[in-house]
Chains A and B, each alone.
Chain A
Amino acid sequence: DTAVSQTPKYLVTQMGNDKSIKCEQNLGHDTMYWYKQDSKKFLKIMFSYNNKELIINETVPNRFSPKSPDKAHLNLHINSLELGDSAVYFCASSQDGRTYGYTFGSGTRLTVV
């Protein structure tokens, strides 16, 4: 059983398109996150949701909108895709990250052409 699963694993799309990435966790965790890993492999927090409520939104363009339909799901919708959005996007979850760490998905590689 995959703990944190993301779909799709790869996404190639043209500039200007709108796309979504889905994330689901079966760990019963209260908090879910989206991270972006750029071409230099630097991982940066984008959003955090706690029990369906947005609690962190780190200087991310308005074109990115997270949606959490329930505690187990956190989707990322991106409007008007730009070349600079090309990156690997990771979903993660935690129950008590300061005690047990965080669990990451395998990532979605987004390529904007």
Chain B
Amino acid sequence: SQKIEQNSEALNIQEGKTATLTCNYTNYSPAYLQWYRQDPGRGPVFLLLIRENEKEKRKERLKVTFDTTLKQSLFHITASQPADSATYLCALDRDLNQAGTALIFGKGTTLSVSS
């Protein structure tokens, strides 16, 4: 069955360092991969989307890579700040039938940035 794994449940880093989060998937060939941020008691917030024909995407301090051979995406936050502390979710856009698509999520990595 299709599986999405975010290797670390928790990641602790110091302010100013680069946080790197990993998302691996199996039994699936997604055309798109998305990253979301979720704060406690809140819904996921869309951050970045990358297509299968794109190797890398950037948005301010965020960078996402997508390696369809390795079936892996890396999510980087450079110059991390305590305000970046949150749970980050990897999601694949999957066709569930001919008319519909929906996001299939990994369990998330909770990032803690200490000052």
Contacts and interface: CB of A to CB of B under 8 A. Distances in A.
Which of B100, B104, B105 is packed against the most chain A CB atoms within 10 Å? B100
Nearest to B95: A56
B77 to A, nearest CB: 18
B43 A45 contact: no
Interface residues of B, number: 25
B43 A107 contact: yes
A97 B100 CA distance: 11
A107 B42 contact: yes
Given A41-B87, A43-B44, A98 B102 contact: no
B32 A41 contact: no
Given A90-B43, A101-B34, A101-B49, A45 B103 contact: yes
A4 B42 CA distance: 12
A4 B89 CA distance: 19
Contacts of B96: 45, 48, 56, 58
Q: Is the interface of B mostly helix, strand, loop or mixed?
A: strand
Interface in A22-54: 31, 33, 40-45, 48, 50
Contacts of B32: 98
Contacts, number: 65
B11 interface: no
B79 interface: no
B103 A102 contact: yes
Given A33-B102, A56-B100, A97 B93 contact: yes
Nearest to B93: A98
B46 interface: yes
Interface of B: 31-32, 34, 36, 41-46, 49, 87, 89, 93, 96-97, 99-105, 107-108
Given A56-B102, A101-B34, 5 more contacts: A41-B108, A42-B105, A45-B102, A48-B96, A101-B46
8 contacts: A33-B102, A40-B107, A41-B107, A42-B107, A45-B103, A102-B44, A104-B43, A107-B41
